[in-house]
C-alpha cells in the first residue's frame, strides 16, 4: 500500500538534450539540448547470461551513528540556503584538498588489491562509497567488479593476455571488408554478402557520427588532436566489433556514451601496459556491463516485463511508495510521464545528467552492487526526484520537465547516501 505522506526522516524545510533521433524520445524534449540519447534496437539477443542475484550491498552508507544521533536533512542540490558541500569528507579535508576519507579508502582498496585472492564482498563495500582518483585503482577495481579479472591475483596476467589476444583476433576477422567473388552487388538475399556489407556500412557510419559527438567538451574524446583521433578510433572499433558479434542487437545510438567512461578510466591507467591495452579491456567490460541492460535497447521488448517501460514503471512505483505527494503531482496533476526524463537517465546510466567526474563516482556505486547496476540505478533516480521535490511540487508541466531533463548540479555523495537510505527503508 502506498504511503499517504513521506516518512518523517524525509521531511526538511531545506528541500526547497542533443536532439534525439529516437521517435520515442523526440516528443519528450522541450527544446534541443546537447545530449545524445538512445534509439531503438532490433531483436534482442542475449549477450551474457545475467548473474544470480545475491543480497544487496550497503552502498554509499554513512555510519549508523550519523542517522540515529541527529535528523538528517535532504538538501536541494542548488538551494542557496543549504550547504551542499558540508559533509564529513569536507571537514576532514587535507591541505591538498584530498579528504581523509579518500586517503583511507585508497589505502583500504590497495590493501585488498594486494591480496592473493581479492575479497569481493569487502571490495564492493569500500568501492561503493567512491573510488579515489589516482594510482590506477579505479581501473583495476572496475575490471574486478565487472568480472573481467578473476579474484585470484595470480591469474590476472594469463587471463588478460588471453582476452587481449581474443580481441585482436576479433578485429582482424571482423573489421576486414568482405571478399566478394561471383555475386552481384545488387543481390537482395538476406544471406547475400553484399547485403550484409551495406548493412554494416550504415551502422559503421552511425557509430562514426556518434563517436565524434562523444563528450565534445573533453579533449580526450573530441577535437582533431592525435590523442582525440586515436581515442575515437578505439571507441569506433569497439562498437563495430560489438555490433558484428551481436547481430540481434547490433549498435544502438547511445552505446557510445556507456562505453566512454570505461575507455577513459582504462586508458588513463598510470600503468603503461594497462593503458596500452585499454581498447581490448574496454570491449570485454562493455559487454559485461551491457549484458544487464540489453533488453532496454530492444524496441520490440519495450512493453514486455523486461523492457525499458517496465523498468521505468518500477522507478515510478519506488517514488509512489516513498513520496506519494510528489508522485501524484508529477504524474497526475502535471502529467509528467516518467518516460519523458527517465528513459535517458536509465538507458545511459546517468552519464548525461552529471559532469564526467561525478558520473564516475556514481558508477563506482552502481558497479559495486552484486545484483548488477540496475537496482542501485533506480534508487539513485528516485533520490534525484526527491531531492528536488520542493521545486517539482511548485512547478507545472513545462518547468518540471525542463528541470528533470536538465538536472541541477548536485553533491554526489549526498545523492548516493539518500539513494541508499531509500533502499534500506524499502527493505525493512
Task: Give the cell for residue 99.
Answer: 579528504
Domains in the chain, start-ordered, CATH in brackets?
152-292 (1.10.8.270), 299-427 (1.10.472.80)
CA distance 428 to 418: 16
As beta bridge partners, residue 93 has: 99
Q: Calculate the CA dihedral of residues 16, 346, 350, 422 and round it to 10 degrees.
A: 50
Q: Name the least confident of 20-29, 102-111, 117-126, 149-158.
A: 20-29
Cell numbers of 327, please?
A: 508522485
Place 416 in a pLDDT band, splitting at 50, 70 and 90.
Answer: very high
Inter-residue contact 379 to 419 (CB < 8 Å): yes
User: What 3-state DSSP class applies to 271?
Assistant: coil
pLDDT digits 0-9 by tens, 143-199? 999 999 999 999 999 999 999 999 999 999 888 755 444 554 555 555 555 556 656
- Give tens-digit pLDDT for 29-67: 343 333 333 333 333 333 433 332 333 333 333 333 333
For position 298, what pLDDT does the model report?
62
Strand segments, DSSP code E, in 270-378 are: none
Contact 326, 393 (CB under 8 A): yes
Pairwise CA distance, residues 318 & 59, whole Å: 18
* 3 state SS for 325-355: HHHHHHHHHCCCCCHHHHHHHHHCCCCCCCC
Are residues 34 and 255 in contact, defined by beta-carbon separation less than 8 angstroms? no
CB 235 within 8 A of CB 264: no
Range with the largest mean pLDDT of 18-27, 64-73, 131-140, 378-387: 378-387
Grid cell 532496454 — which residue? Answer: 296
- Tell me the average pLDDT across 366-377: 94
DSSP, res 185: T
Amino acid at each position: 500500500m502506498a504511503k499517504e505522506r513521506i516518512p518523517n526522516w524525509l521531511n526538511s524545510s531545506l528541500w526547497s538534450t542533443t536532439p534525439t533521433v529516437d521517435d520515442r524520445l523526440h516528443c519528450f524534449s522541450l527544446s534541443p539540448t546537447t545530449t545524445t540519447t538512445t534509439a531503438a534496437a532490433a531483436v534482442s539477443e542475449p549477450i551474457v547470461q545475467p548473474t544470480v542475484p545475491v543480497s544487496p550491498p550497503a552502498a554509499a552508507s554513512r555510519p549508523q551513528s550519523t542517522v540515529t544521533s541527529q535528523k538528517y536533512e535532504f538538501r536541494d542540490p542548488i538551494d542557496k540556503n543549504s550547504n551542499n558541500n558540508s559533509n564529513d569528507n569536507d571537514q576532514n579535508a587535507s591541505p591538498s584538498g584530498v579528504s581523509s576519507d579518500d586517503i583511507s579508502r585508497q589505502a583500504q582498496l590497495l590493501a585488498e588489491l594486494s591480496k592473493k585472492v581479492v575479497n569481493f564482498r569487502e571490495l564492493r563495500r569500500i568501492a561503493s562509497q567512491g573510488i579515489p582518483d589516482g594510482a590506477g585503482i579505479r581501473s583495476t577495481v572496475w575490471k574486478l567488479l565487472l568480472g573481467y579479472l578473476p579474484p585470484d591475483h595470480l591469474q590476472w596476467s594469463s587471463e588478460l593476455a588471453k582476452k587481449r589476444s581474443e580481441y585482436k583476433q576479433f578485429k582482424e576477422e571482423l573489421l576486414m571488408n568482405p571478399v566478394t567473388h561471383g555475386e552481384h552487388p545488387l543481390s537482395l538475399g538476406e544471406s547475400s554478402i553484399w547485403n550484409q556489407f551495406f548493412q554494416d556500412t550504415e551502422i559503421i557510419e552511425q557509430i562514426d557520427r556518434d563517436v565524434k559527438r562523444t563528450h565534445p567538451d573533453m579533449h580526450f574524446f573530441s577535437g582533431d588532436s592525435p590523442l582525440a583521433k586515436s581515442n575515437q578510433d578505439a571507441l569506433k572499433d569497439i562498437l563495430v566489433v560489438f555490433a558484428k558479434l551481436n547481430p540481434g542487437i547490433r549498435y544502438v545510438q547511445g552505446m557510445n556514451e556507456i562505453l566512454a567512461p570505461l575507455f577513459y578510466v582504462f586508458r588513463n591507467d598510470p600503468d603503461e601496459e594497462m593503458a596500452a591495452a585499454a581498447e581490448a579491456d574496454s570491449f570485454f567490460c562493455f559487454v559485461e556491463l551491457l549484458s544487464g541492460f540489453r533488453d532496454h535497447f530492444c524496441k520490440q521488448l519495450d512493453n514486455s516485463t523486461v523492457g525499458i517501460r517496465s523498468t521505468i514503471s518500477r522507478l515510478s512505483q519506488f517514488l509512489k511508495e516513498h513520496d506519494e505527494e510528489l508522485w501524484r503531482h508529477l504524474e497526475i496533476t502535471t502529467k509528467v510521464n516518467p518516460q519523458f526524463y527517465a528513459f535517458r537517465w536509465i538507458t545511459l546510466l546517468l552519464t548525461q545528467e552529471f559532469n564526467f567526474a561525478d558520473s564516475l563516482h556514481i558508477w563506482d556505486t552502481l558497479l559495486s552492487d552484486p545484483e548488477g547496476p540496475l537496482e542501485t540505478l533506480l534508487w539513485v533516480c528516485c533520490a534525484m526526484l526527491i531531492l528536488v521535490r520542493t521545486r517539482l511540487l511548485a512547478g507545472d508541466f513545462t518547468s518540471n520537465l525542463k528541470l528533470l531533463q536538465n538536472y541541477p548540479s548536485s553533491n554526489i555523495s549526498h545523492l548516493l547516501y539518500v539513494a541508499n537510505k531509500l533502499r534500506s527503508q524499502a527493505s525493512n
